[in-house]
Amino acid sequence: MKLLVSALEPSSNLHLKEVLKHTKDIELIGIFDKSIEVGTPLYDISEMAIMGVVDAIKKLRWFFKVADEMVELAVQADKVLLMDSSGFNLPLAKKLKEKYPDKEIIYYILPQIWASRPKRAKKLEKYCDKLLGILPFEVDYYAQGKAQYIGHPLLDEIDVHRVESETKNCIAFMPGSRKSEISRLMPIFLELRRKLGNDIRPLLIIPPSFSRNKIAKLYRGNREFEIVRNTHEALRRSEFAFICSGTATLEAALIGVPFTLAYIAKKVDFFIGTKLLGITQVGLANIILTNYNNTTLHKEILQEEVTVDNLLKEYYNTNRKIFAQKAKELREYLDHGSSENVARIIMQP
């Protein structure tokens, strides 16, 4: 089977690799991580990275060109798999369906219509044949039978067992993976690390693909931390974590590490998100629990509130027992992984 894939995000490609473990005789074409060995990408994901609305506008014309190239490439494909990145993948789905009305389009990692712009559900239903949700509540935003919950990929990918007695004094710092995220948070994390003193073991979690030169440029003061490349292993060893928004917050929750979210966005992006799109929560674990039982798991410290004093208060005042109970509820709600289910759907004749 030849599968056209559009997976622009690093997290999507981690999920894609898990899915491929359960497939046979499959060849990928399209956009995906070049490390995936069952195909040669038209573009590697490093070429697709953007950060915020302004960056997206600058590259808009180029993205139109890439979408047209994907549509032409699709003539070779038996099926289409779109993953996350709705800003690119939803218009692409429309173009694909218009040119190839009989070609099956599968959307895995659905857009967050529950956070903003719920009208996109109609477009997804129109242009995609199968909608695969990774959050139990999100399928309720679609017409009956149009979307299905297939499990959450992190429950396949997290393979660590955290033992409380082995986490003493280890604290994880996760300032993100994008330059703008790191430049805003790293100075605060560095001062925070110094305030916590030498009794702690500070773990600075850095993406495995980053070179020494890139680390030296982006992470000021990194020598005052122990650099760790394996996120799950670092979180397993940690008694607490300070985490930029993103998939890492849900990873920490599922592993059971108490944490606080610290996020500083560009002012224009924060204004658009909160005032125009109506986003009220940033942490994925909080969003999931709010929809499940109207509770939250962790504190969200945003924008000007991200200070050393506020982060210290969270470290000392977070109730570890309540966090553990809420994290357990979250895991039970998600229930099972998704990779095998997605592979089965892709391989169906």
Handedness of CA 22, 27, 32, 35 (dihedral sign): positive
Residue 207 pLDDT: 86
* pLDDT averages per 10-residue partition of the chain, 349 residues: 94 94 96 92 78 66 91 97 94 97 97 84 96 95 93 93 81 90 94 94 91 90 94 94 88 95 84 71 88 92 95 96 95 96 96
Residue 61 pLDDT: 85
In CATH, the number for domain 2-149 is 3.40.50.2000
Long-range Cβ pairs for the range 168-171 (8 Å, 24+)? 168/239, 169/199, 169/200, 169/201, 169/239, 170/200, 170/201, 170/203, 170/237, 170/238, 170/239, 171/196, 171/200, 171/201, 171/202, 171/203, 171/238, 171/239, 171/240, 171/241, 171/242, 171/315
- Helix, strand counts (H, E) of the chain: 15, 12
Residue 31 pLDDT: 95
For 266, what's the count of Cα atoms within 13 Å in the CB-facing half-sphere?
Answer: 11
Residue 11 pLDDT: 86
How is residue 306 annotated by DSSP? -
Q: Would you say 278 and 259 are in contact if contact means Cβ atoms under 8 Å apart? A: no
Number of neighbours of residue 211 by Cβ within 10 angstroms: 8
Domain ranges of the chain: 2-149, 164-334
Q: Would you say 38 and 12 are in contact if contact means Cβ atoms under 8 Å apart? A: no
Q: Dihedral of the CA atoms 151, 156, 162, 168 (nearest 10)? A: -90
**H or E element at residue 243:** strand 240-243
Residue 268 pLDDT: 79
Q: Dihedral of the CA atoms 190, 192, 194, 198 (nearest 10)? A: -120
Residue 240 pLDDT: 97
Homologous superfamily, domain 164-334: Glycogen Phosphorylase B; (3.40.50.2000)
Tell me the C-alpha distance between 273 and 33, whole Å: 29
Residue 280 pLDDT: 74
Beta partners for 258? none
Angle subtended by helix axes 339-347 and 10-20, to nearest 10 = 70
Residue 332 pLDDT: 95
Q: Would you say 251 and 241 are in contact if contact means Cβ atoms under 8 Å apart? A: no
